[in-house]
Amino acid sequence: MPNPTRRMSTSRRLWLTGLASLLACSASWSAVCDDPTSLRVALIPKSRAQEQRTTLLPLLQALGQSTQRRVELTLPSSYSAVIEGLLGGTVDVAELGPASYAMLMERAPAVSVFAALSSADGTDPQQPARYHALLLTNADSGLDTLAKLQGKRVGLTDPVSTSGALLPRAGVLRLTGQALESYFGQVSFAGSHDRALASLRKGQVDAAFVSSTRLDEAVRAGALKREDVRELWRSPAVPTNPYVVRKRLCPKLQASVRDAFLKPRPGFEGMYRQLGTGPFVRADDADYQAVRELLGAAATQPAPR
């Protein structure tokens, strides 16, 4: 006569085996891609948070419509916070600086570049716009050469900013043979290009490194006149900020994010006018290879004799 206890034990083992297989499959499926119910977007700090939020409202609305998800915008206080959010999975879509993108990819290839803004003048409508790092002083300061700034106070934006820190470090080393902190008497970080410009105009620093695009925007907004400042140095041109998406997002979600940026939509023309740019265009990793090469070459180039 069959042993009922043995039958029960066998049935239990089969049930547990099936459950384990189901859980393993579930874990495998969840490991394939991330499909969050809310899309978390982060922007590097460039100007006042509310200004960034208001200007990009048409894009945020388009993201919500295209992805059918609630869009959560965060405006971290540093470039590094955006990088850590992408690596840690707490940020899904982000704007990065060219150099901060290169630094992230050196740590882990966790994101894909998919878009960048084009130039307002339409000279190359299918390519990301290009910009420069600038060293500025107040026009009435009498500080009209780099040599006169030795030992003076200089303002940067963020330690990971392309135009507000990394290109300036490489440029100062190439031009003077000294590290930026050694050449200047005091170095401070304003946190954004707008605040760096404000610190310069208020006399809190003697010079400031900012991006050419942020200077243009400040002039358009009436925050200062171009003749108020003097340009002492300009870096080689670099491609504008890349917009990236986390690679672990499900392919369908990634596609809907790309569509939101690249498909013309109502309200985008006004947004582009406020930004002083042309439309979003497709971008990829190859567009930013020159940034890696420029930073590496400038940092190792000897000072001119």
Out of 195, 216, 235, a domain closes at: 235
Judgement on whether residues 65 and 212 belong to the same structural domain of the protein: no
Please give the structure tokens belonging to residue 83. 């990088």
Judgement on whether residues 110 and 249 belong to the same structural domain of the protein: yes
Per-residue pLDDT, averaged over 63-81, amounts to 93
Tell me, yes or no, whether 54 lies in a domain: yes
Reply yes or no on whether the pLDDT at 51 is more than 70: yes
What is the extent of the structural domain holding 214? 133-235
d(CA 244, CA 283): 10
Report pLDDT for 291: 81
Reply yes or no on whether the pLDDT at 101 is more than 70: yes
Tell me, yes or no, whether 29 lies in a domain: no
d(CA 283, CA 126): 9
Judgement on whether residues 120 and 138 belong to the same structural domain of the protein: no
Judgement on whether residues 223 and 243 belong to the same structural domain of the protein: no
Judgement on whether residues 137 and 120 belong to the same structural domain of the protein: no
Query: Which phi and psi angles does 229 have, rounded to 5°?
Result: -125, 155
Tell me, yes or no, whether 182 lies in a domain: yes
Judgement on whether residues 152 and 227 belong to the same structural domain of the protein: yes
Helix ranges (DSSP H) in the chain: 4-32, 49-55, 57-67, 79-88, 98-107, 167-176, 180-183, 193-201, 212-220, 251-262, 268-275, 289-300
Q: Angle at which helices 212-220 and 193-201 pack, to 10 degrees?
A: 70
Judgement on whether residues 211 and 147 belong to the same structural domain of the protein: yes
30 exposure class (CB count in 10 Å sphere: 0-12, 13-18, 19+): exposed
CATH number at residue 117: 3.40.190.10
Residue 68 near residue 145 (C-beta atoms within 8 A): no
Domains held by the chain: number: 2
Q: Kindly report, residue by residue over 241-264, the tens digit of the pLDDT.
A: 999 999 999 999 999 999 999 998
Q: What is the pTM of this model?
A: 0.78
Out of 195, 218, 235, a domain closes at: 235
Judgement on whether residues 244 and 114 belong to the same structural domain of the protein: yes
Please give the structure tokens belonging to residue 99. 């150099």
Query: Which phi and psi angles does 115 have, rounded to 5°?
Result: -155, 160
d(CA 251, CA 179): 44
Which of the two residues, 22 and 245, has the higher pLDDT score? 245
Report pLDDT for 296: 65
Tell me, yes or no, whether 57 lies in a domain: yes
Tell me, yes or no, whether 28 lies in a domain: no
Judgement on whether residues 218 and 294 belong to the same structural domain of the protein: no
Judgement on whether residues 266 and 289 belong to the same structural domain of the protein: yes
Reply yes or no on whether the pLDDT at 57 is more than 60: yes
Tell me, yes or no, whether 23 lies in a domain: no
Please give the structure tokens belonging to residue 171. 């440029």
Q: What is the DSSP letter of 299?
A: H
Judgement on whether residues 157 and 229 belong to the same structural domain of the protein: yes
Judgement on whether residues 106 and 143 belong to the same structural domain of the protein: no
Residue with tokens 């707008």: 194
Residue with tokens 């400038």: 298
d(CA 127, CA 191): 28
Buried b / exposed e along 165-174 (16+ C-beta atoms within 10 A)? bbbbbbbbbb
Least confident window among 16-20, 75-79, 132-136, 225-229: 16-20
d(CA 167, CA 298): 8
Reply yes or no on whether the pLDDT at 48 is more than 80: no
Out of 235, 264, 280, a domain closes at: 235
Instruction: Give strand pairing partners of 115.
Output: 243, 282
Tell me, yes or no, whether 139 lies in a domain: yes
| Pairing between β-strand 280-282 and β-strand 111-117 as defined by DSSP bridges | antiparallel
Q: How confident is the model at residue 42 (pLDDT cuts 50, 70, 90)?
A: very high
Tell me, yes or no, whether 17 lies in a domain: no
Q: Kindly report, residue by residue over 200-250, the tens digit of the pLDDT.
A: 999 999 999 999 999 998 998 888 999 999 999 999 888 999 999 999 999
